[in-house]
């Protein structure tokens, strides 16, 4: 069978996506499950993370968010049996692409898919749901009555974060990177308290947040990146500066960042100290770094699929593409031309 892989080059820009033949192990390990893949989500590949972890391989599997049907289980598997419908995320060190017809995965990376939940919704929302839970519950300690600012609220991650926060009684502000995103967020239900159109040069993010909170600032900020320099690529020009985020955060607030290269100068640290504010880096891959976290990881994924099945979480997904469009789709995702792509196995 064939799978989609990223062929690494000397730099991230040199990476190419290629289709390669893949063999599925005939014999399963004690806790392994063989799954027939029904749908797979394509998210941007963090090439730098793979280099940092020194996996030492030229081909990196693509498409880790999967949903499918259990075909076979190992001798010590207790959670699943053949014909169960499951959803999960392939581990970071997997050798298999989620676009293969079938994959082999440890049972501790899977949860049961509710019958009412579609293949596409399950695959398309599982990772963004995990990121939202990690940011809001694990890192920011979200609680009812808090005020949350979600930057780039119209992204798949942003939408699920907004919905999860609403469920827990949090007041939500969100930024929009385009007029289309602003219109989408204004029509979102439950409604966002304020949509801040940062695409409009007349709109100031800090002033809008302080006005909405009576000058107190927000309790939680979740960014989608931070503008580090004056001269940035066009795609990053609408990102906030770190000084803006530090200014709009309230006393005792939490800043959850996705910016891996964020650097704080002494005055920045002093400002955060005076507010007793905290800074956390969002990296959902840590759930697979320690077996001590497996129980909590599975609990989160079970809660995500349950909320998806009841409509508490409602991902905004594009129509899925067929397998033969996967290579082009992944190139578009990696270049940030589209936010996410779903591939359905016919």
Q: 200-218 pLDDT, tens per residue?
A: 999 999 999 999 999 999 9
**According to the model, what pLDDT value does residue 13 have?**
66
Report pLDDT for 153.
96
Q: Inform me whether the pLDDT recorded for 234 exceeds 70.
A: no
Report the candidate in 303, 275, 254 with the shortest Cα–Cα distance to residue 143.
254
For residue 200, the model assigns a pLDDT of: 93
Mean pLDDT for the stretch of residues 47-67: 85
pLDDT band at 12 (very low <50, low <70, confident <90, very high): low
% of the chain surpassing 90 pLDDT: 75
């Amino acid at each position: 069978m064939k799978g989609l892989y990223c062929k690494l080059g000397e730099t991230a820009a040199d990476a190419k996506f290629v289709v390669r033949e893949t063999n599925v192990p005939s014999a399963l390990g004690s806790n392994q499950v063989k799954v027939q893949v029904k749908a797979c989500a394509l998210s941007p590949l963090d090439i730098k993370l793979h280099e940092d972890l020194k996996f030492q391989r030229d081909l990196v599997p693509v498409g880790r968010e999967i949903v499918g049907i259990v075909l076979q289980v190992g001798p010590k598997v207790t959670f699943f049996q053949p014909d169960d419908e499951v959803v999960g995320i392939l581990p970071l060190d997997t050798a298999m692409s989620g676009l293969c017809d079938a994959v082999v995965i440890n049972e501790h990376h899977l949860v049961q898919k509710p019958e009412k939940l579609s293949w596409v919704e399950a695959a398309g929302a599982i990772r963004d749901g995990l990121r939202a839970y990690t940011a809001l519950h694990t890192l920011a300690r979200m609680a009812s009555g808090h005020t949350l600012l979600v930057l780039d609220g119209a992204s798949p991650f942003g939408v699920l974060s907004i919905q999860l926060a609403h469920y827990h009684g949090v007041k939500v502000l969100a930024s929009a990177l385009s007029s289309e995103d602003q219109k989408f967020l204004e029509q979102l239900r439950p409604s966002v308290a304020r949509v801040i159109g940062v695409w409009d040069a007349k709109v100031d993010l800090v002033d809008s947040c302080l006005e909405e909170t009576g000058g107190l600032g927000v309790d939680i900020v979740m960014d989608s990146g931070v503008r580090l320099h004056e001269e940035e690529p066009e795609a990053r020009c609408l990102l906030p500066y770190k000084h803006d985020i530090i200014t709009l955060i309230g006393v005792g607030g939490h800043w959850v960042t996705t910016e891996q290269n964020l650097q704080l100068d002494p005055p920045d640290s002093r400002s955060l100290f005076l507010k007793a504010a905290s800074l956390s880096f969002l990296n959902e891959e840590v759930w697979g770094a320690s077996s001590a976290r497996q129980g909590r990881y599975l609990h989160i994924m079970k809660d995500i699929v349950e909320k998806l099945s009841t409509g508490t979480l409602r991902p905004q997904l594009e129509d899925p593409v067929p397998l033969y469009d996967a290579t082009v789709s992944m190139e578009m995702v990696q270049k940030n031309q589209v936010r996410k792509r779903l591939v359905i196995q016919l």
